Structure 1
Amino acid sequence: MLVFIDESGDPGFKLAKGSSPNFVTTMVIFDDHEQAKSCQKAIYELMKALRVKPEFKFSKLYSPHRDTFFEVVGRYEFRTRSVVVQKELIYSDALRTVKESFYKFFVRNMLQHDGGALVDAKVVVDGSGDRAFKRAFRSYLRRHLDSNAVKKLELRDSVKDPLVQLADMTAGAIARSYNPERADSNRWRSTLRKNGQIENVWEFR
């Protein structure tokens, strides 16, 4: 089992000064390694065809490119699980003031509350942050995760892995669905749902 994790939004709480109102973290789960390999290749080829550089990132794409991306990945077998954090509902001082704590907490919660989805999984998380943070993050997750669920944990730069980019695109599609003022708010989440690729969306309370 292969799992790829990325997020949409930021951990900041200055909502009146540009921080995102929501934070979404998503894991993309492939039960079949061949499906993962084929999907990875298809995303890489699409990147070249659309001349997207250096990576697919939901927030930076034109809508037609998003449409094409989700049409292509819709041909492959994977499932997604997401946690949606509406920041106005978060009152913990630690989560509101320490960005690293916020990020680690919600990635951990998504992996722990997996509904039994993870078994001997190799988990790849978008590797943002400096070396010290990466070491601390890996150590933090290993302390809290069931070793039967997560066999291996790796942090990897999304630019180097199209399947981490898939997690970013999925997280972005879920996050967009929580902006009802946008005419396209449900456009890409609906595509994922139609393709049977959304297993769970957990609205954190």
Structure 2
Amino acid sequence: MWIFLDDSGDCGMKLSGGSSSHLVMAACVFDDRDHVEHALELVEEARMNTAPGGERYRVAKEFKYSSTKSSHKDRFFTTMSAAEFRVRAIILDKRLLWSERLLENPSHLKNELIYQLMSSHYDTLEGAKLVIDGQDTRAFDISDRDHFMARVNLRAPGTLIDVEFADSKRNGLVQLADMTAGAIRRYHESGDSKAQTHVETFRHRAYQRNGGTYWHFK
């Protein structure tokens, strides 16, 4: 089992001073290596676009929801609909956060959301390798992978067998997690209709009956 994870939003609590109102953590879960390889092929397929004049061209930039061109997002989500994976997403509206511990230590928010996502899964995750953007280890507060694995496995034995830090620019499935998290946050923050359309392409993957989650954390 392979889990590719990324976030959208920040840990800041100055909601009227530039901090995002929402923080989203999204994990794309693959049960089989063949599914991983097929998804990587689809990411490459999503890079191929057609210009108005009919010329074919390849999108070379990293897929990031915050900066990817709208038409390229459409192409990405349409193409990835053919992949086989589950989505586990946790959505925090910081305006509703009640935990005194997290309110007093907002820098721990991302770590807490990852921990909850990985350990509260009702036996739907087992023997998984977790892949995270290596650029975000400080933000995620997971510089010590062994400590994080031990904490998760103490609560949910056998969940993780490895935590790997990858370069998102080179890892198409970390980019998939970014695009997933970004679409969810955009939709919940602003009700953006385009983001809603993107979310609808994978919302069924987050149904509990399919082994996913779409968890509004408070």
Interval of TM-score (by shorter of Structure 1 and Structure 2): 0.7 to 0.9
Q: Tell whether the 8 Å contact from 1:26 to 1:82 is kept in structure 2 after alignment.
A: yes
Q: Report how far residue 170 of structure 1 moved.
A: 0.7
Aligned: 1:5 with 2:15:
no
RMSD: 2.3
Range 172-181 or range 91-100, more displaced: 91-100
Matched residues in 2 for 1:191 and 1:168: separation? 15
Q: Tell whether the 8 Å contact from 2:90 to 2:217 is kept in structure 1 after alignment.
A: yes
Q: Tell whether the 8 Å contact from 1:24 to 1:171 is kept in structure 2 after alignment.
A: yes
Opposite residue 187 of structure 2, the aligned amino acid is: S
Q: Choose 1 or 2 for highest CA Rg.
A: 2
Partner SS for 2:150? helix
- Which residue does the alignment assign to 1:103? 110
Name structure 2 gaps, 5 residues minimum.
50-56, 207-211
Q: Report how far residue 21 of structure 1 moved.
A: 0.4
Q: Number of paired residues?
A: 202
Q: TM-score, normalised by structure 1?
A: 0.88
- Which residue does the alignment assign to 1:171? 181
Q: Tell whether the 8 Å contact from 1:40 to 1:162 is kept in structure 2 after alignment.
A: yes
Q: Report how far residue 97 of structure 1 moved.
A: 5.1
Range 41-50 or range 107-116, more displaced: 41-50
Distance 1:179 1:20, change over 3 A: same
- Which residue does the alignment assign to 1:83? 90
Q: TM-score, normalised by structure 2?
A: 0.83
Q: Residue deviations 1:84-124, cap 9 Å, x none?
A: 01101224454235454111111111101123211111111
Matched residues in 2 for 1:155 and 1:98: separation? 24
Matches within 5 A, 1:35-184: 35-47=35-47, 49=49, 51-92=58-99, 94-96=101-103, 98-129=105-136, 134-136=142-144, 138-146=145-153, 147-184=157-194
Opposite residue 174 of structure 1, the aligned amino acid is: I
Name structure 1 gaps, 5 residues minimum.
none
Q: Tell whether the 8 Å contact from 1:47 to 1:55 is kept in structure 2 after alignment.
A: no
Matched residues in 1 for 2:137 and 2:3: separation? 22
Q: Residue deviations 1:135-162, cap 9 Å, x none?
A: 33x2441231125111111121211210
Q: Report how far residue 202 of structure 1 moved.
A: 0.4
Q: Tell whether the 8 Å contact from 1:81 to 1:201 is kept in structure 2 after alignment.
A: yes
